[in-house]
Amino acid sequence: MTKKIFDEKVKILQNVKVNQKYYKLAFASPLLAQKAVPGQFLQIKIGEGNDPYLRRPFSYYRTSGNKVEILYEILGRGTRMLSEKKAGETLKVMGPLGKGFTLTPKGKKRVLVAGGVGVPPLVFLAERHAAAYLLIGTKSKAEVMPKSELKNAKAKILYSTEDGSYGVKGRVTALLEKILKKEDPGKIFIQTCGPKKMMEAVIAIARKYGIDGEASWDENMACGVGACLGCMVETRSGRMRACADGPVFPFKELVIP
């Protein structure tokens, strides 16, 4: 069955900085909110006319009723322009796009592994469906989300920071290894989103322990609907489009260099 995709002009309700790195933007749209599942994304037209020319993809961070929230950081000119938008201004937003996470893997404990801009979809998932753990890796305490943003996550939240300023010092994969050494690997299902190198390391660990899972595999997305073929992912079934066939792919399908 073909999924419905909507292209809506929405009014910004809120656009605020939540810590030293991330911004949260909220808008209202029944069509973009009510059918969205964790792991799907939106394509946002930031400026008027053709500047910037391409829309930018953003994961769903949260939906509540008719409200949609995204979490983002300034990575370039487009996101800097987005950070300057005020409540009451409008944006053109297309979605829900892509394939989301498996919501309830049967008979398995879910362990969520997030890093960087991979945090939003996994927080959304943990709010909707309980997980055993939500592991969040950041570079420093400055990137740690306020507790108020995570209060509805149904998971034990553990942090790692590369500089040791918060939680466990080191990479989030060290936390994952620690958990897997005390859990039955046969009862674990891992879901991950974050920098590609982090996800590659997570998948390598999962394969070592014989654990199934899924990764939200981010590639540069231009159209968001699979037409431009600019976000191809190497899989065991051939090259697939991250935006339309993913962005969530099973570990067993992904070809890791």
Domain count, the chain: 2
233 inside domain = no
Q: Is the peptide bond before 57 cis (omega within 30 degrees of 0)?
A: no
Over residues 39-77, the pLDDT tens digits come to 999 999 998 777 787 899 999 999 999 999 999 999 899
Over residues 237-251, the pLDDT tens digits come to 999 998 999 999 999
**% of the chain at pLDDT higher than 70:** 99
How far is residue 114's CA from residue 97's CA, in Å, rounded to a whole number? 20
Of 129, 117, 106, 111, which Cα lies nearest the Cα of 205?
111
**% of the chain at pLDDT higher than 90:** 81
143 & 168 share domain: yes
Structural domain of 165: 109-216
80 & 133 share domain: no
150 & 90 share domain: no
91 inside domain = yes
3-state secondary structure the chain: CCCCCEEEEEEEEEEEECCCCEEEEEEECHHHHCCCCCCCEEEEECCCCCCCCCCEEEECCEEECCEEEEEEECCCHHHHHHHCCCCCCEEEEEEEECECCCCCCCCCEEEEEEEHHHHHHHHHHHHHCCCCEEEEEECCHHHCCCHHHHCCCCCEEEEEECCCCCCEECCHHHHHHHHHCCCCHHHEEEEEECCHHHHHHHHHHHHHHCCEEEEECCCCCCCCCCCCCCCEEEECCEEEECCCCCEEEEHHHECCC
How far is residue 173's CA from residue 165's CA, in Å, rounded to a whole number? 17
37 inside domain = yes
23 & 85 share domain: yes
235 inside domain = no
- pLDDT of 1 above 50: no
pLDDT of residue 2: 54
211 & 117 share domain: yes
* pTM (whole model) above 0.85: yes
118 & 90 share domain: no
241 inside domain = no
Provide the CATH number for the domain around residue 68: 2.40.30.10
